[in-house]
A and B are shown apart, each in its own frame.
Chain A
Amino acid sequence: EAQVTQNPRYLITVTGKKLTVTCSQNMNHEYMSWYRQDPGLGLRQIYYSMNVEVTDKGDVPEGYKVSRKEKRNFPLILESPSPNQTSLYFCASSLYQGRNEQFFGPGTRLTVL
């Protein structure tokens, strides 16, 4: 089944404790992206990747890191999480950037205490 998977689905952590949210797609997509969803703000793009080893900042990259060493994986790293990073995070992928539909993962609900 073609899909985007994220792990974990739910995470409660404390300020300053490094964490990684994994994202994997099995559709051989070139483009991958991370978003955070907050009430009243919709989805805001954190980072995106046009291809392996190519990543770029979105609208809200501060406090986040990503890597794209393989086409299928695009982990999101929070080196020192803070309470303002409490949010719902979605990973998405598409064949290419532009006209192609983005497929979304199930989301990761992160709470930083």
Chain B
Amino acid sequence: AQSVSQHNHHVILSEAASLELGCNYSYGGTVNLFWYVQYPGQHLQLLLKYFSGDPLVKGIKGFEAEFIKSKFSFNLRKPSVQWSDTAEYFCAVNGANDMRFGAGTRLTVKP
């Protein structure tokens, strides 16, 4: 069955630190991969997405993610986080009909 795993439940960083959030998925067919962000009290917004082509994709607000097919991974990165990046981050996999989300990673950035 299709599944998505996010390894980190809560990450705490200081401003300017680098960020990497792990995401692994399990799915047998072609997948479309997404990272969404949920700022406190708000709904989910798309950060970036990958369908095909260059496995390194860039999204909004300086985020990027790398698709590694052999590892079934789609990790999110940002070279230097800001206090305003404090939010919950969700990896999602879109297969044939449905969309599955990981459990989410809460990021707290200390000023």
Contact = CB atoms under 8 A, between A and B. Distances in A.
B44 interface: yes
B9 interface: yes
A32 B43 CA distance: 16
Nearest to B45: A104
Contacts of A35: 101
A101 interface: yes
B101 A101 contact: no
Interface in A37-90: 40-45, 48, 50, 56, 58-59, 90
B8 interface: no
Interface size bracket, A side: 20 to 34
Contacts of B46: 101-102
Nearest to B94: A98
Nearest to A56: B97
Given A43-B90, A50-B97, A56-B97, A90 B43 contact: yes
A94 to B, nearest CB: 9
B32 interface: yes
Given A98-B94, A99-B51, A106-B43, A43 B34 contact: no
Given A45-B99, A98-B94, A102-B99, A90 B104 contact: no
Interface string A86-113: 0000101000011101101111000000
B47 to A, nearest CB: 10
Most central of A35, A90, A98, A105 by chain B CB within 10 Å: A98
7 contacts: A41-B103, A42-B102, A48-B98, A98-B32, A101-B34, A102-B44, A106-B42
Q: Which 5 A-B pairs have the closest CB atoms?
A: A42-B103, A43-B101, A104-B43, A104-B44, A42-B101
Interface of A: 33, 35, 40-45, 48, 50, 56, 58-59, 90, 92, 97-99, 101-102, 104-107
